[in-house]
Chains A and B, each alone.
Chain A
Amino acid sequence: MKWSYKLVLALLSLVLILTASGILFLYNRINNVYHDDISYIFSDNPKYHFSLILKSDSDEYWQDFKEGVYEGAKAYNDVVEFHSVSTVDQESQIVEYINIASKSQLDGVIVNGENSSLYGEAINAARRDGVEVVLGGVEFATTERLSYVGTNFYEYGVQAAKLVSQVQTDDPDIQVAIILSSNHEDGNLDGVTSQNALMMSGFKSVIDDIDNVEIVDTLYRESDLLGAENLTREIFTQYEDIDIIFCTNAKDTVAASRIIVERNLVGKVFIVGTDMTDEIANYVRKGIVAGVLDRNGYLAGYKSVEILHNSLEGNFQPGYLDIDIDVYTLINIAAYHDER
């Protein structure tokens, strides 16, 4: 056979093989796409089935919290179904999901709701149906919840105030503004103290003893969209000598830091932020954020599952689990990366 014929034959065979391989490859990929809807995210025969109900506007803390819940479930061979609650009619949605968890005969619920009578009733009803409830974020001690896992807001306030007092400014009289996440969580139920109130109580308990530090304003961020940015601008407009802005979540911390950079106020105005992200860590290194209070959402989520699991296993669990706050400043920011 002539070499030219051999060459043609070899080329055709190569094309044939490559095409057949390509078809098989595409076929498998299409098949895999079909099977992808069955996401094998759980191990076989999980022991307990929990429901995690979180607000959709949750910030970095709740992202970490969710991650911690999943990791906890994985560690204890449990399974968690996640429900995100939209900002509209949050209360009724949370209640509905708690009820559904009850009627679905789930083993436990981890929920971040707002203090209200309906919410409390739903928690209690679930408990009656044999569904244990762990609260994260907002404590509702008067309900029959199994446990609260999260930040001790009084202590959080104390730590924040200490951080504020450590900030080195040129101004002898330090003016502090505080941006709180929302006033909805303040609660209006008798006998229930809101987390914001607790935090402010702790903050003031320290600040009041310091002569040159003054809380000039406390503002509530009503929405995620440009909320903290507008509030920061408002603070700069109203308080030209403002020295420190204390933000109570990661989004606000980042937004306020950007405004400081934008207004060329780096070194003049400082942020005391909450919850750590990579971006915030950069601001710490640049000296814009003087310090960060990391509430450790991941650990809170993990511990929530752990408490539910252990409780269902018949072990006694604490009704209140305080998650320690990590404080990061320029001095120890390297530790954040080490932990990551």
Chain B
Amino acid sequence: MKHKLLDRLKIRVSSIRTRMILVFLITSLLTSFTSMFISSISKNLINRMEEMFTANVEIESFLTLMDNVDKNITDYLVSDDSDSMLNYYKNKDIFLEKATEMFDPTAGIYSENDLINKDILYMVNSYLAELDAAVTAKKINDADGYIARYAEADQISQYIRTYADKVNLQTLDVNTNQYLSMSSDLNRLFVLNMVLISTVIVLSLFAVFYLTYNLTKPIVKLADTAEEMTKGNFDADDLVVASDDELKVMANAFNAMKHSIKQYIGELHDKADTESQLLEQQIENLKMQSLLESAELKALQMQINPHFLFNTLNAGVQLAMIEGADRTSNFLDDIAKIFRYNVNSLDRVVKIKDEIDMVRAYCNMFHVRFGDAIHFNYDIDLSLFDIEVPPLVIQPFVENATIHGIGNYEQGGVINITLKRDGNIAKIIISDNGVGMDKKTMKMLTDGIEFKQKKSGHTTGIGIYNVVHRLRLFFGVEDVLEVVSAPNQGASFTLKIPITTEPKRRAAKEGAKKHEI
């Protein structure tokens, strides 16, 4: 119960509204209290100043009343006028009342001033007593008596004036001293008032600035982050709000929203990637299939009953052997090998050794056909024989060299076939000293661009374009062929076979199988 109450209270205290109200209240109250404080002090001081000068005014009033009494008694003593006598008694009462009011010592005697006041009041009594005696003497026509009494009263009135002047001077003296004492303090008070007001203003500004800054800082951060999110950046840091208020709730909600969106987008990306990979795979498969089909179609077009021809050749080989025609037997054997190699499906994997063997057979056949017009040189690294490659990738280049490179080269040609390791690459280099080619042709070959070749009855029909694309698909790398040539400078074709990488096609095939499962 208590906890709940405290929690509720905490929430209320830490809410933005409460904080704003508190700050405004504090600043307003501070300013108001300061104004009231300074006004109150100023008012009190003004009152004090007024009181300081009231005494002098009062004494002047007192002396005026005494003058009135003196005038009335003089009138009466001179004229024996009853009105003057009545006026005397009337003004005497007023005068006495005023004197009592001003100088009454019954409140106690504490100071020199109190003593003087008491003296004045008592002298007023003596003065009036003498005047009364003068009136009495006048009534009985005792001229000497009232003259003597009046003279005495007049003397006393002089004393009263002396004392009144003394009071005036003392009051003035006290007031002057007070003012001199106060003036420096009043100046200091003014300065301090200014300092106080300035401090309150600065304090209020500080409170407002602090509140505003604290309120707007997370909002600005939030806006910045939201702007980043609209640009697709969901990796911005989480908003951290120190205050325990609605902004913190908003920031937490925003962070959660950001994370949710980020996660969702991530999932979408993954899905899209997978789908893209699958699609790519399918496209590649289709391409591969298309190429194979194309190659096979071409091979089939060339083969008229290949098995009949193959069996016939074998029979020819055997006949040649029986007749002791070894060269013929070898020639036919090489042709049989070539036919056998070509008859097999292109959708298989062979080793480089098979390819080299097939090329040797092909070259032997050429040697029988064309004699010494073409020399074949081999530089073979036997350690690379077990590397797997698609079938019929070397033979088309040898065929290309014999037909296009040196086919029309009257001086006779040399074809070098090299197999060597270059790092993780097995390089198969087929070079000739033939007519070479221009740059445009070279670029088309290396870029794998198919160009129409004039069909020749001497070829197997599998073009370089086909080989390049099959190698690319098989190994999953683009850089599979390098051509170096110049017109009449011969040509060099380098097939780059990755050694360590498992052929992509095979991996892709396995992946596709898994996906199907």
| Residues of A that sit less than 8 Å from B by CB | 1, 5, 8-9, 12-13, 15-16, 19-20, 22-23, 26-27, 29-31, 33-34, 36-42, 44-46, 49, 79, 81-82, 96, 99-100, 103-106
Contact present for B210 and A39 (CB under 8 Å): no
Nearest-neighbour CB distance to chain B for A231, whole angstroms, equals: 36
Q: Known A9-B206, A37-B178, A42-B111; judge A30-B156 contact (CB<8 A).
A: no
Interface size on B, residues (CB 8 A): 49
Q: Is the CB of B118 within 8 A of A104?
A: yes
Give me 10 A-to-B residue pairs in the complex whose CB atoms sit less than 8 angstroms apart, sorted by A's number: A16-B199, A22-B188, A27-B41, A27-B189, A30-B181, A34-B52, A49-B109, A79-B115, A104-B119, A104-B126
Docked-complex contact B202 and A81, CB < 8 angstroms = no
Rounded to whole Å, the gap between the CB of B125 and the closest CB of chain A is: 8
Contact at A30–B45, with CB atoms within 8 Å?
Answer: yes
Contact of A16 (CB < 8 Å), options: B45, B119, B120, B196: B196
Query: Which residues of chain B come closer than 8 Å to A103, judged between CB atoms?
Result: 122-123, 126-127, 156, 159
| B200 in the interface (beta carbon within 8 A) | yes
Any chain A CB within 8 A of the CB of B195?
yes
Find residues 151-199 in chain B having any chain A CB closer than 8 Å to their own CB.
155-156, 159, 162-163, 171, 174, 178, 181-182, 185-186, 188-189, 192-193, 195-196, 199
Roughly how many angstroms separate A68 CA and B196 CA in the complex, as a whole number? 51
Select from chain A the residue with minimum beta-carbon distance to B130. A103
CB <8 Å contact, B37 and A23: yes
Closest to B158 in A: A96
A19, A39, A46: residue with the most chain B Cβ atoms closer than 10 Å:
A19
Least CB distance, A270 to chain B, in whole angstroms: 44
In the complex, chain A residues whose CB is within 8 Å of the CB of B178: 33-34, 36-37
The 10 lowest CB-CB distance pairs between A and B, nearest first, are: A104-B119, A37-B174, A81-B115, A103-B126, A19-B196, A33-B181, A104-B122, A105-B122, A26-B189, A39-B111
A26 pairs with B192, CB closer than 8 A: yes
Min CB gap A146→B, angstroms: 20
Q: Which residue of A lies closest to B188 (CB)?
A: A26
Q: Are A81 and B203 interface neighbours, CB within 8 A?
A: no
Cα(A105)–Cα(B159), bound, Å: 13
> B110 to A81, Cβ gap below 8 A?
no
Chain A residues with CB under 8 A of B52 = 34
B48 close to A49 (CB less than 8 A): no
* Assembly CA distance A31 to B49 (angstroms): 10
* B292, chain A: closest CB distance, angstroms: 73
The distance in angstroms between the C-alpha atoms of A33 and B176, with both chains bound, is 11
B237, CB-defined interface residue at 8 Å: no
Q: Which residues of B contact A30 (CB under 8 A)?
A: 45, 48, 181-182, 185-186, 189
Residues of B with C-beta under 8 A to A45:
108-109
Q: How far is the CA of A5 from the CA of B213 in the complex (A)?
A: 12
| Residue from the list A5, A12, A49, A106 in contact with B199, Cβ < 8 A | A12
Q: Other CB < 8 Å A-B pairs besides A5-B210, A96-B162, A99-B159, 7 of them?
A: A23-B196, A30-B48, A36-B178, A36-B181, A38-B110, A40-B111, A103-B159
B109, A42: Cβ atoms under 8 Å?
A: yes
Task: Please name all residues of chain B whose beta carbon is closer than 8 Å to the beta carbon of A100 when the two chains form the complex.
Answer: 119, 123, 159, 162-163
CB within 8 Å of A: which of B90-124? 108-116, 118-120, 122-123
CB distance from B96 to the nearest CB of A (A): 15
Q: Is the CB of A12 within 8 A of B159?
A: no
Give the residues in chain B near A20, CB-CB below 8 Å. Answer: 37, 196
When each residue 52-81 of chain B gets 1 if its CB lies under 8 Å from chain A and 0 otherwise, what string results?
A: 100000000000000000000000000000
Q: Is B44 an interface residue (CB 8 A)?
A: yes
* A5 nearest CB neighbor, chain B only: B210
- Docked-complex contact A12 and B202, CB < 8 angstroms: yes
Q: Which residues of chain A have C-beta atoms less than 8 A from B112's C-beta?
A: 39, 41, 81-82
- Please pick, from B51, B126, B189, B203, the residue contacting A12 in the complex, using a CB distance under 8 A: B203
Q: Are B196 and A81 closer than 8 Å at their CB atoms? A: no
CB neighbours of B125 from chain A (8 A): 105
Residues of the A chain whose Cβ atoms lie less than 8 Å from the Cβ of B189: 23, 26-27, 30
- The interface residues of chain A lying within 8 Å CB-to-CB of B193 are 23
Give the complex CA separation of A29 and B182 in angstroms: 8
Mark out the residues of chain B between 204 and 233 whose CB falls within 8 Å of any chain A CB in the assembled complex: 206, 210
**Closest residue of A by beta carbon distance from B163:** A100
